[in-house]
A and B are shown apart, each in its own frame.
Chain A
C-alpha cells in the first residue's frame, strides 16, 4: 500500500465513531495537560514583561485579544474544511466537527470583540467604531450565531449538517475580507504586524509571549473541540437508543 492510500485509510478509519472515541479519550488528557502548561508559561511571560512605552499596561490585553481573533478565523476555516468533508466525502465525523466548532468559534469571536472593545476604550477613546476590521469580525459573529440557529432548527442531524455545510461554504467569503480588511481599508485598526511576508514588525519581547499564548489558545481550541465532538457523538447515540427503545415499547403494546 502506498503512503498516501495508507494515510487516507487511516483518515477513513476515524469514520468509525467508536475508534474515534477511543482515540479522543486517549488524546484529550494529554492535550489538556499541554494546554494548561502553555497557559501557565504564556500568562507568566505576558505578566512579567514590561509594558509598552506608548500603551503602558494595556498592551497586555493583546495577549488575549490577538490569539482569540486568530482563532475566530481558524475555527471558521476548520468548519469550512469540515463542510467540504460533509458534502464531498460524506465523512460521518465531518458534520460532528462542524457542529461542535460553531459555538467555540462564536465564543472566541465574542472574546476578541469584547477584549478589543476594552482595549479600544483607553487607546482610541471609544468602545466601538465602524472600522472595516471590527465590522467584518462582528459580521463573523453574526454568521456563527446564524449557523448555530440553522443547525438547531432542523431535527434530522444529517440533513441539517448538509444544509449548514452549504451555508458555511458560502460564508467563507468573509474570511479573506477579515484578514485583509486592515490592508485594503486604511482605517483605525492597525494593520497586520505579526504574519507578514517581511517578518514580524513587533518587538521580540512582545512577540514571544504572544506566540506562546497563541499556541495555548490553539491547543485549548483543539481540546474543547475534541470534547465537544465526543459529547455530540454520545448525544446522538443516546438519541438513537431512545428512539429504538420507544420503537420496542410500541411494538410490545
Chain B
C-alpha cells in the first residue's frame, strides 16, 4: 500500500506536472476575481476566504478525471481489480496520494493568495486550516465522479457537473468556519467540527462508491 501511495505520488508530480498546474490554475482563478469585482481592498478582505475556497475547489476538480483514467488506459486498473487487497482500500490510498499531490500544495499556497486578498493573519490561518481539513472530502467525493467518468468517452466536464452539487456542503461549512474565526459572533468550532465530520463521512462512502463504480464499469 505504501508502494502504491508512493508510486501514485511520484507519477502525479512527474508526469504532466499535475500538482504544478493545479496551483497555477488556483492562482489564476483567484487573480481573476479582483478584475471582476474591482480592486476594493476592504471588499476583497471580506470575501477573501470564500474566493480562496472556491478557487481551491475548482483546482481540486481539475485533475480528478485523471485519477483512474491513466490506469485504465495502460491496463493496470484490471490488475487492481484482480488483486487480493480490497478495492476500497486501493481506492482510498489512491485518493490519499491524489490529495497529497494536488490538494496539499493548494493548502500550502493558500496563505500567499490570502495576502493578495488583503486578509489578516487570523483569516489566513483559519482559511488554511479549514482547507486542510475540508479538501480531503472534495477528493473523496471526486473519486466517485472519476470512477464513473472512465466509462464515458469524454467525461471530464460531466464529472465536474455531477460532483460540484455534492461538494456544496463542504464549501458552506468551510467558508462559514473561516468567517466565524474572523468576524464572529458565531463560534468557530461547530462549523469546523461539521467540516471534519463531512470529511470522515465521505472518506467512508466515497471510496466505497468509487470501488463499486469501478467494478461495474470495468467488465
Contacts and interface: CB of A to CB of B under 8 A. Distances in A.
Contact of B155 (A139, A153, A159, A162): A153
A37 interface: no
11 contacts: A143-B162, A143-B166, A146-B161, A153-B158, A163-B213, A166-B209, A166-B213, A167-B145, A167-B148, A170-B141, A177-B169
Nearest to A87: B212
Interface string B132-172: 00000000010011001001110100100110111011000
Interface of B: 141, 144-145, 148, 151-153, 155, 158, 161-162, 164-166, 168-169, 205, 209, 212-213, 216-217, 219
A150 B160 CA distance: 12
Interface size class of A (residues with CB under 8 A): 20 to 34
B144 A170 contact: yes
A142 B165 CA distance: 7
> Which 4 residue pairs are nearest across A and B when measured between Cβ atoms?
A162-B216, A146-B162, A139-B165, A166-B213
A66 B134 CA distance: 35
A154 B152 CA distance: 6
A154 B145 CA distance: 15
A149 B158 contact: yes
B209 A170 contact: yes
A173 interface: yes
Q: Which of B151, B161, B162 has the most chain A CB within a 10 Å cutoff?
A: B162
Nearest to A165: B216
Nearest to A166: B213
B216 A159 contact: yes
A180 to B, nearest CB: 13
Interface string A118-157: 0000000000000000010001001101110110011000
